[in-house]
Structure 1
């Protein structure tokens, strides 16, 4: 065995940046989620913006009861993301659970661990995105059962949208939802979009729908907003990033509050 070298201590301290990355986005994902983290790294993460992920327990099937069971884990999940450090935004990445638990309660739970952080939920991001696109009459496509879809319809109606059609696929397991081919979503979008709708909302963070947005928009000739795309858009704008990303659809060309076509 060779002799070990003497270890020298460098006494001059290197210069430190205020943060390793300028902006920080937290993501609370389900333990079973295959898609949200990948989508956020694709659409949000950059040399300027870091994405930091925590996962919380979730058990299928996707029922209102099981979705609601995640609420007690939200504070603990948020607390695990860069403890004692501030975030510029945090997203709870479950559309159906956000509707069942309610946006305001999610915000309270997350801000208990991260006071003052802007909280993004996929359905609220969807509402903001649809309004930025000037949509008033919408179609909705979900992979859920009819029972799980009903609260989603009520949510968007309560936010002032005229729902012209609502289509669901009767999937009960979010891991199977993640396996739906993006090309299949294009065909489904064509069938789900009502002729009178201004835009289509595709719900569920498990779906690989963000990859298919441009093709869906081409197929129906109107804007398409998806859960992960809208959440990413909202988080980017909270970080002051207004760069256009047309490869992820028309929404990624918009700023919040811009409701021009």
Structure 2
């Protein structure tokens, strides 16, 4: 059994992790603890006692919002507190893009425009070209959590208006686990979503490779991205 720990801001799309656990169909357990950006270490002890082998801060905006260096500091603090490899959803996107071997991506964000642009800046700091950013301007996680397949597909289509090798949907409040393969077939390109890449990142940190086509192109890659030797795993 491989146990993976996630600190989650709560209130929306937690059930995506239950769905992903089912789709993995292996001896992998996903454990969630509610947390916030200013109290990240609070839930670490519970995850460590549950047997977690790695910890991911499963929030995108509350990691890239600190900037490239600040996000590194955040994860480093988390790793030291947990005594485990650690990362965040923002870095998960960077590593997933590199795993796919693509350089040009489009962003479909539920966020206000200024927040979505900060995510684009974070990706650019990692050397990733952002061809376009579509921001839906939704103010709350609760509203995003109520979106269904129609709204998710509309967001993806609007974001794909600019040429890109992959599409990124960065909000962890967005339910996407059941829609990834449908979106990829519709858009004819890899789709990376926040909860999907968070789980993939935790697996990366444990060097565990899982083939799960129902979770999209990212989970069908033959190569494996190894965790680094740094305390943060980033």
Q: TM-score range with shorter-chain normalisation?
A: 0.7 to 0.9
Residue 31 in structure 1 maps to residue 16 in structure 2: no
User: What residue is the counterpart of 2:71 in the other structure?
Assistant: 103
Q: Paired residue for 2:20, among 39, 43, 55?
A: 43
- More off after superposition, 158-167 vs 71-80: 71-80
SS in 2 for 1:163: strand
Residue 124 in structure 1 maps to residue 101 in structure 2: no
- Is the CA contact (8 Å cut-off) linking 1:128 and 1:256 kept in structure 2? no
The alpha-carbon distance between structure 1 residues 47 and 137, as it changes in their structure 2 partners (threshold 3 A), is closer
Please identify the structure whose Cα radius of gyration is greater: 1
- Is the CA contact (8 Å cut-off) linking 1:129 and 1:256 kept in structure 2? no
Within 2, Cα distance between the matches of 1:195 and 1:169? Answer: 16
> Equivalent residues in 2 for 1:1-261 (5 A)?
22-32=1-11, 34-35=12-13, 37-44=14-21, 48-56=27-35, 70-83=36-49, 87-101=52-66, 102-115=70-83, 117-254=84-221, 255-257=223-225
Structure number with higher relative contact order (C-alpha < 8 Å, ≥ 6 residues apart) = 2
Within 2, Cα distance between the matches of 1:128 and 1:44? Answer: 21
TM-score under structure 2 normalisation?
0.85
- Is the CA contact (8 Å cut-off) linking 1:145 and 1:172 kept in structure 2? yes
Structure 1, unmatched stretches of 5+, are 1-21, 57-69
The number of equivalent residue pairs is: 220
Within 2, Cα distance between the matches of 1:202 and 1:240? Answer: 24
Which structure is higher in helix share? 2
Within 2, Cα distance between the matches of 1:242 and 1:111? Answer: 22
TM-score under structure 1 normalisation?
0.77
TM-superposed CA distance for 1:48, in Å, is 2.4
Deviations 1:135-164, CA, capped at 9 Å, x for gaps: 111100110011222211110111111111
- Is the CA contact (8 Å cut-off) linking 1:186 and 1:219 kept in structure 2? no
TM-superposed CA distance for 1:79, in Å, is 2.3
Within 2, Cα distance between the matches of 1:196 and 1:52? Answer: 37
The alpha-carbon distance between structure 1 residues 171 and 208, as it changes in their structure 2 partners (threshold 3 A), is same
TM-superposed CA distance for 1:244, in Å, is 1.4
SS in 1 for 2:180: helix
RMSD between aligned residues: 2.1
Structure 2, unmatched stretches of 5+, are 227-234
Deviations 1:177-228, CA, capped at 9 Å, x for gaps: 1111123212321221145211111111000122211121112111111111
